Copies of this chain bind each other. A is one copy, B any other.
Amino acid sequence: MEFNRITEADVRSIRQIVGDGAVLEDPAAVAPYGRDETEDLAFMPEVVVIPENVEQVSALLHYCQERRIPVTPRGAGTGLSGAALPVYGGVLLSMKRFNRILDIDLDNLQATAEPGVITQHLIDAAAAQGLYYPVDPSSKGSCFLGGNVAHGSGGPRVVKYGTIRQYVLNLEVVLPGGEVIWTGANTLKYASGYDLTQLMIGSEGTLAVITKIVVRLVPLPAHQVVLLASFKTNEMACAAVSAVFRAGLTPSALEFMERRGMDWVREYNDLPLELSADQQAFLLIELDGDNMDLLYADCERLNTVLEAAGCADVLLADTAAQKEELWRIRRTMPESVKSNSVYKEEDTVVPRAALPSLISGIKEIGRTYGFDSVCYGHAGDGNLHVNIIRGNMSEAAWKEKLPAGIAEVFRLTVSLGGTISGEHGIGWVQKTYMPLRYGDIHMNLLRGIKKAFDPHGILNPGKIFDDAAGTAQQ
């Protein structure tokens, strides 16, 4: 389908819907909305619209559908797949004014919030009531709940608590024609026809615009134990991961980091952490619970498993400050890698016992295709973030040769039973790799679902699959 460019008359109409102060046209004001955290990509919207209530979103979408103007919803812009980039121009719909936590329901252990709430704010509001919202991606201090839902977000606690799919109960959404519906019910169980709530999760803003989110909360665990285990090789560390679960332990986090990432974090954060030459790979492990005796007993079992897996050294965080320090290493790894080099991040995920094969295969592919990588991620879930470092690769190698190497990484991932993305989504940059895992039949089912929600294809076109004939303009 072809889209219309936005005219001056369109801008006047949009200003009438949302008010003058909610429309940005000036290139300098618009520019930040043309980027997210995905590599160095930039696509400029024609206008930025920042509504403040569901009626405005409804009227805006209705108008844009009538006029065949593409609309790209945007949360905090922390995404890593380019899903929030307005690749066909049109309206960039910023949800940042939807920033209220509407209710913490202590009788039902539920919260209702708007999509522009920063994830950490909901975590804090729940904690203040002794409750836990355990969906905490690394960007939790800046990312929005709406973006988390749209991407099916994970984070380190998935390994014990599950992804955001296990927490979202119900969503208020605006369909591309402007209709407002709740997708389900505020209930812990739902067997009332196809589950539209689950379908919205991970749909990357291509089906509807989320305007309210109801999540369940769980009791806040009283204690955490955090430790850093080091290994001589990546493969040994990765092999230890499934051994931990086979032993019946369920950590609340189990993160893998390789040495290079650790070195860069130490420089970036100016950390005093001393490492010896045989500490080449690390597992950050957290156990949580309400009873310290039980936690210490689990720690002992964990130590036994780690030792049997060839762990060289275990550093147990004694104080709250030490725990925070260990977590800061992991959480600042993305930005410390970014500060060193332009990079491409691939979000591979496999059954967890396949991790050793995945990481050694990735390094082998790197040698063949001439790229270097820093790997880290949620090893307990089999989810490894592969950061391919530009370093001093030539423009030609980076733009033309590298995609073949990345395709090789995904072929390996798929051959190990995995898929193209575990938690970052497909968006703009991964969609070319979807055919490595999914055939035309699967992709056409996705397109058929899209058509049922968005018959004119105005919502976030060009994401997950090719669905628009217009020209993407970088």
Contact = CB atoms under 8 A, between A and B. Distances in A.
Looking at A166, A192, A242, A347, which has the most chain B CB atoms within 10 Å of its CB?
A192
A199 B202 contact: no
A391 to B, nearest CB: 28
Given A194-B464, A198-B201, 15 more contacts: A152-B190, A152-B191, A165-B165, A165-B198, A187-B349, A187-B417, A189-B422, A191-B202, A191-B422, A191-B424, A191-B426, A195-B199, A199-B199, A199-B449, A445-B453
A185 B418 contact: yes
Q: In the assembly, how many copies of this chain are there?
A: 2
Contact of A464 (B181, B193, B417, B447): B193
Nearest to A297: B291
Given A194-B446, A448-B453, A175 B351 contact: no
A77 interface: no
Contact of A193 (B202, B350, B352): B202
Contacts of A347: 191
Interface residues of A, number: 86
A192 B421 contact: yes
Interface in A201-233: 201-203, 207, 218-219
11 contacts: A105-B353, A153-B191, A165-B165, A179-B441, A181-B439, A185-B417, A185-B418, A186-B351, A187-B418, A198-B201, A449-B452
A422 B417 CA distance: 32
A154 interface: yes
Contact of A351 (B110, B153, B382): B110
Interface in A433-456: 434, 437-439, 441-442, 445-449, 451-453
Interface string A121-153: 000000000100000000000000000000111
Interface stretch (A11-19, A84-92, A243-251, A331-339): A243-251
A374 to B, nearest CB: 20
A420 interface: yes
A107 interface: yes
A196 interface: yes
A237 B117 CA distance: 37
A83 to B, nearest CB: 10
B107 A242 contact: yes
A440 B318 CA distance: 58
Contacts of A418: 185-187
A256 to B, nearest CB: 14
Interface in A343-360: 347, 349-353
A224 to B, nearest CB: 16
Interface of A: 105-110, 130, 151-154, 158-159, 162-163, 165-166, 175, 179, 181, 184-196, 198-199, 201-203, 207, 218-219, 242, 245-246, 248-250, 291, 294, 347, 349-353, 378, 381-383, 417-426, 430, 434, 437-439, 441-442, 445-449, 451-453, 464-465
Nearest to A354: B108
A421 B452 CA distance: 24
A301 to B, nearest CB: 11
Q: For the complex of A and B, list the 9 residue pairs with the smallest distance between their C-beta atoms, beginning with the closest.
A: A448-B452, A107-B353, A185-B419, A189-B422, A198-B198, A108-B351, A219-B248, A152-B191, A188-B381
B190 A194 contact: no
Given A246-B106, A248-B130, A188 B423 contact: no
Given A108-B353, A188-B158, A202 B195 contact: yes
A194 B449 contact: yes
A110 to B, nearest CB: 7
A22 to B, nearest CB: 26
A188 B419 contact: no
A350 B383 CA distance: 35
Contacts of A191: 151-154, 202, 347, 421-426
A109 B383 CA distance: 16
Looking at A107, A158, A190, A352, which has the most chain B CB atoms within 10 Å of its CB?
A190
A30 to B, nearest CB: 28
Contacts of A351: 105, 107-108, 110, 186-187
A42 to B, nearest CB: 23
B349 A185 contact: yes
A243 to B, nearest CB: 9
A383 to B, nearest CB: 5
Contacts of A181: 439, 441-442
